[in-house]
Chain A
Amino acid sequence: MSHVRLPAAPPISVAGLRAGYGRIEVLHGIDLHVPAGSVFALLGTNGAGKSTLLKVIAGHVRATAGDVRIGDVPVGSRSVEHLARQGVCLVPEGRGIFPNLTVRENLRIWTYASSIPLPEVEERTYAAFPRLSERRQQAAGTLSGGEQQMLAISRALVSDPSVLLIDELSMGLAPLIVAELYQMVAKLAEGGMTVLLVEQFVTTALAVASRAAIMANGRITGEGTPAEMADAALSAYLS
């Protein structure tokens, strides 16, 4: 098995993308360019298609039309697990953990996409999130929401991905925890990777983003710097 890793921090380009589930089309022609090494925030209301776009880039949902490339690798030709081992790391919506496995067992699974052995994976994770260290033998489903999300994002910490896709990191979490998690994201981004994040909290997302876009009804309705997008997002949410 040859898994040539993607170059560090490649750009992501999406052109004329259409995709959906079964007969229901969710994305109706998306054009988007995520610059190399940027932290890009995708904003928009529920059901706008943000998660679906992320899933297409990670290989979970196949495009029905259009082209999606990470660097110069076309996403459509690769399986999800192949992309993951090449360095595409998706932290999915909800909790990206196996609730019936212990913390340590979850970390063991993360090593599939990582080149480093389990002891070092544990070391790195517990150094970043000491709270998880105390709970290493506990079933992940019994952790608090914040701890679960820490465990989920530790995947990015241990696999040194080229592309990090994060879906609603803040879902159901208290602001303090969200802030802590986003500090980790910012730190990760400095290490050299392209980050694309979907977030419902505009301020939180724009604080870490270098660029942002707004989605509505399966289309991109605006793109620009965080400052430009802040007002547009406000009016889209609380009209």
Chain B
Amino acid sequence: MPPADALAPERTGGGGSDPVLEVRGVTVHFGGVSALTDVTLSVDRGSVTGLIGPNGAGKTTLFNVISGLQVPNSGVVVFEGRDLARVRPHRRARLGIARTFQRLELFGSLTAEDNVRVGLESSIRWWQWHRLRASFPWARDEAGDGARATGSRVVGLADRLLAGVGLAGHESEQSSAMPTGSARMVELARALAMQPKLVLLDEPGSGLDEHESEALGSLLQRLAADGMAVLLVEHDMELVMRVCDRVHVLDFGHIIASGTPDEVRADPRVQKAYLGASAGSAPAAGGDV
């Protein structure tokens, strides 16, 4: 599916347990509501980490904390050994954290291709004139990859990224007019265009049919194999169980279980979290009262 060279970040030699992201003791309150309580987890380079839990468990809030849209009341987020406190959202993105949104945040009046181009060109600063010039549509293709006689390399890359998420032929559609499933894939392509080291995916599978969801799973595994770290929030359990190396379970703001997909599935606390506990058999962790 995706051309690996277009999607992959620079390879880092190390394998094994090599946390690119560490979240330590993060707590978030909204007024009197505690959305996250003392959440600690890590995401390894070159792996797909799942984050599951019932609605309202705090998964999106955790994503917002990692990408900088939400300032936690306490706790730290460490990315590649660097404390991200006081690092603003766009700086975090430049460090290599990309994300998608549960409720779509597309650049709705731009085409699918231009959405991806904004991601591809995001590293260009205003003083880098040669790169600015290359972003113009009439620029000659200096890379000479033969994709098109004229037109910039960026356009070619954007189209290849879109093809990589299964949207070949949809480049010039206005993104807000696309069906939800396709729009989610545009967001994914835009995130990958930044060549991130860590990508946070918030329910990328919703709105996809069985076939597309399977293709998404393969894509995520390939990204991980190329060294990218993926943190995946997903309700499609089949997808989570198939692609994740580790799974964390979040329930009313607490991490209640972590482990391999099989371990987590067998955990009685997880069963309870998903199916609801009958009164009196609440988990040990203190609730949000």
Contact = CB atoms under 8 A, between A and B. Distances in A.
Q: Do chains A and B touch in the complex (CB under 8 A)?
A: yes
Interface stretch (B17-25, B29-37, B69-77): B29-37
B275 A46 contact: no
A203 B275 contact: yes
A204 interface: yes
Contacts of A114: none
A95 to B, nearest CB: 8
B180 interface: yes
Given A174-B252, A238-B265, A204 B276 contact: yes
A174 B288 contact: yes
Most buried by B among A145, A173, A205: A145
A237 B274 contact: yes
Interface in A131-162: 139, 141-148
B32 A142 contact: yes
A230 to B, nearest CB: 9
B278 A203 contact: yes
Interface in B232-280: 235, 237-238, 252-253, 265, 271-272, 274-280
Interface string A160-196: 0000000010111111111100110000000000000
A116 interface: no
A2 interface: no
A175 B276 contact: yes
B288 A173 contact: yes
Chain B residues touching A, range: 35 or more
Most buried by A among B33, B56, B206, B237: B33
A39 to B, nearest CB: 15
Most buried by B among A45, A168, A175: A175
B85 interface: no
A177 B289 contact: yes
Nearest to A47: B206
B100 to A, nearest CB: 16
B237 A239 contact: yes
Contacts of B287: 146, 173-177
B57 A172 contact: yes
B282 interface: yes
Interface in B43-73: 54-58
Nearest to A99: B31
A144 B275 contact: no
Interface string B195-222: 0000000010011000000000000000
B102 to A, nearest CB: 10
Contacts of B54: 170, 200-201
Given A46-B206, A172-B35, A175-B283, A203 B277 contact: yes
Most buried by B among A142, A178, A201: A201
Nearest to B276: A201
B276 A148 contact: no
Interface residues of A, number: 39
Contacts of A141: 30-32
B168 to A, nearest CB: 24
B206 A144 contact: no
Interface in A9-25: 24
B282 A46 contact: no
Nearest to A217: B209
Nearest to B102: A46
B275 A234 contact: yes
A201 B57 CA distance: 13
Contacts of A174: 252, 282, 286-289
A173 B252 contact: yes
A202 interface: yes
Contacts of B282: 174-176, 179
B39 to A, nearest CB: 14
Nearest to B253: A172
Given A170-B276, A201-B275, A142 B265 contact: no
Given A171-B55, A237-B237, A238-B274, A148 B279 contact: no
B56 A171 contact: yes
Contacts of B55: 46, 168, 171-172, 200
A207 interface: yes
13 contacts: A139-B31, A144-B289, A147-B32, A148-B33, A171-B56, A174-B282, A175-B277, A175-B279, A175-B287, A177-B287, A200-B54, A203-B278, A238-B271
Given A145-B32, A147-B32, A172-B288, 18 more contacts: A24-B180, A139-B31, A141-B32, A145-B288, A173-B287, A174-B252, A175-B279, A175-B281, A176-B287, A177-B288, A179-B277, A183-B279, A201-B274, A204-B276, A204-B277, A234-B275, A237-B274, A238-B237
